[in-house]
């Protein structure tokens, strides 16, 4: 079978491609299990080393270009994991770019999926940014999305399009509302939530970091490993498990920056914790304060989606892989 991963050269995309290669098989919409013969990564660039496997190929191009997408997907694509996006801070700073990639690109991709010979299965990476103030104390499966950022608006429209394409029988879609993913390695991106990883990543690397929100700021977070497992689990669930609406709030953890600092101290010691300072930034706060911080996810729990145990475990896992001198 042929699998497409948009945003495949990014951090999560690379983890997902590696996991798919290790798994070796996926289900099709006919319910059968098939060997993965080809994985095609689509991204706007290929910075840094990429995972190498004879089944994996990398293509650079514009996801909002239907001609490009049609050429890459052909008519024989079985599954699509749609991770490509302009992240929250970037979409807020450049409205036109966010609309082009997050909305026009998603619509173009769905149209090419619609043209496949066999109805493909599509897993869409949405975000908890689809919710916005005013918010209840705890967001439930019944809380209505009300985005307060361009990024959240674009993701919600993508969910609605995916659901309608699925309702019409053009594809088998499922959308996952991801928590903030921590800890992301490498250089910081334009995500407004980037500080949630920076508070761990930079101090463990021996660098000082300034966190642009107060210590009491809470985030709904998940580990990269749980996110990748959720993508694959979402793909493998039978279509009937999703019901009439295909978007789902994923499990996560509510973590304040004060708790993140304590987790850093437990794993990296006082020297690492001393590298953190707080200097709130009004621009970042305007975005972050619209996001939900506490969820109840009984639907996802009943469907078997993974949940991280605690933040310290997430930080230890990161340290073992990316800061081995600390993580031992």
Which is nearest to 229 in space by CA: 246, 245, 247, 251? 251
The two beta strands, 218-222 and 79-82, are unpaired
Q: Answer for the pair 262, 270: CB distance below 8 angstroms, yes or no.
A: no
The two beta strands, 218-222 and 253-256, are antiparallel
Dihedral over Cα of 284, 129, 304, 107: its sign: negative
Q: Tokens 């101290």 appear where? A: 265
Which residues does residue 254 pair with via DSSP β-bridges, in sequence order? Answer: 220
Compute the C-alpha angle 31/35/39, nearest 5°.
Answer: 110
C-alpha to C-alpha distance for 250 and 93, rounded to whole angstroms: 27
**Active-site annotation holder among 34, 151, 165, 245:** 151
245 is an active site residue: no
Q: Answer for the pair 222, 253: CB distance below 8 angstroms, yes or no.
A: yes
107 Cβ contact list (under 8 Å, min separation 6) = 161
Q: Catalogue the active-site residues.
A: 151
């Amino acid at each position: 079978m042929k699998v497409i991963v948009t945003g495949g050269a990014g951090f999560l995309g690379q983890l997902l491609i590696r996991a798919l290669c290790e798994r070796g098989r996926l289900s099709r919409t006919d319910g059968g299990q098939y060997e993965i013969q080809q994985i095609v990564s689509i991204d706007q660039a290929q910075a840094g080393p990429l995972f190498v496997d004879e089944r994996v190929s990398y293509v650079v191009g514009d996801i909002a270009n239907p001609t490009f997408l049609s050429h890459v997907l052909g008519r024989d694509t079985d599954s699509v994991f749609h991770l490509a996006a302009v992240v929250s801070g970037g979409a807020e700073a450049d409205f036109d770019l966010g609309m082009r990639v997050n909305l026009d690109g998603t619509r173009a991709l769905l149209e090419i999926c619609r043209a496949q010979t066999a109805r493909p299965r599509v897993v869409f990476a949405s975000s908890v940014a689809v919710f916005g103030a005013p918010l209840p104390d705890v967001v439930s499966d019944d809380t209505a999305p009300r985005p307060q950022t361009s990024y959240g608006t674009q993701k919600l429209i993508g969910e609605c399009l995916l659901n309608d394409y699925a309702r019409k029988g053009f594809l088998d879609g499922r959308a996952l509302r991801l928590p903030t993913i921590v800890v992301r390695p490498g250089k910081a991106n334009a995500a407004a939530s980037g500080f949630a990883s920076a508070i761990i990543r930079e101090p463990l690397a021996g660098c000082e970091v300034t966190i642009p929100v107060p210590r009491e700021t809470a985030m709904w977070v998940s580990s990269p490993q749980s996110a990748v497992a959720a993508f694959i689990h979402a793909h493998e669930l039978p279509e009937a498990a999703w019901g009439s609406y295909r978007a789902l709030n994923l499990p996560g953890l509510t973590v304040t920056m004060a708790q993140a600092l304590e987790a850093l101290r437990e794993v990296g010691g006082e020297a690492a914790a001393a590298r953190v300072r707080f200097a709130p930034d009004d621009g970042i706060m305007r975005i972050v304060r619209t996001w939900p911080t506490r969820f109840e996810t009984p639907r996802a729990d009943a469907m078997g989606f993974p949940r991280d145990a605690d933040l310290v475990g997430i930080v230890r896992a990161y340290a073992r892989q990316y800061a081995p001198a600390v993580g031992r």
